[in-house]
Chains A and B, each alone.
Chain A
Amino acid sequence: MFDITIAGDGTIRLNGRLDSNQVDMTREILEKVGSTTTVDFAELRYISSAGLGLLLATQKRLNDSGHKLEIVNMTPHIRDIFTIAGFDFIFDIK
């Protein structure tokens, strides 16, 4: 089960499990992001390399225009994955 929503303040909320089969839906949303945006991981329970790759591509695209993704409310298991992948260096995690 996976869902992605955009709150009134522009925050993107990821809910559930972001696996390889959910990447297309997520890409459709992230491709529309053009400025610094908060991504709320509070309800994200799982992410694999497919989702990580999509976040990486988005961060690189935004970086070209001086913007970025800011990730908030990351759970410990997902923080572990980010650390192993070295993503803790390239994302603003709050």
Chain B
Amino acid sequence: MRRNFRRDLESLDGIFTFAGEFESDNGLDDSESYFLDLTLEELFTNLVRHAPGHDEIEIEIELERDLLTIRLTDRETEPFDGNSLGDVDTQKPLMEREPGGLGIYLVKKMADGLDYDYDEGTLVVTARKRLEDK
């Protein structure tokens, strides 16, 4: 499934509806659906907030056998690599913790792979996860 969404946080409701259709059509369980929703929110909001780009961001979700692939394509944008961000130190005491970078960190920890590919103004962010019992 593929759909374009306005580069605006107000698109989130539509993105969750889009994800819900995919989850229903493909029989994703609650845990898998949580992963999909979280990954879409974190990656989409990250693109909207941290880099200028085209008016719309394309989202594609596919399930091939047991491999769930989530791909966001951002055009007319600048290079960005979420994997270059250092891991969040989850062992730090409360007063030393900061929320920055937590979203991408969660996706990296929950996914089996997160790739950023940039070529001539187009940034493609791809998260992959193997689902059990599919």
Contacts and interface: CB of A to CB of B under 8 A. Distances in A.
Given A20-B45, A46-B34, A52 B102 contact: yes
A84 B13 contact: no
Secondary structure type dominating chain B contacts: helix
Interface of B: 9-10, 12-13, 16, 30-31, 34, 37-38, 41-42, 45, 88-95, 97, 99, 102-103, 105-106, 109-110
Nearest to B91: A86
Interface residues of A, number: 23
A46 B99 contact: no
21 contacts: A20-B41, A21-B12, A46-B37, A48-B38, A48-B41, A48-B103, A53-B99, A53-B102, A56-B94, A56-B97, A57-B99, A60-B97, A63-B94, A80-B31, A81-B106, A84-B90, A84-B106, A85-B102, A85-B105, A86-B88, A86-B92
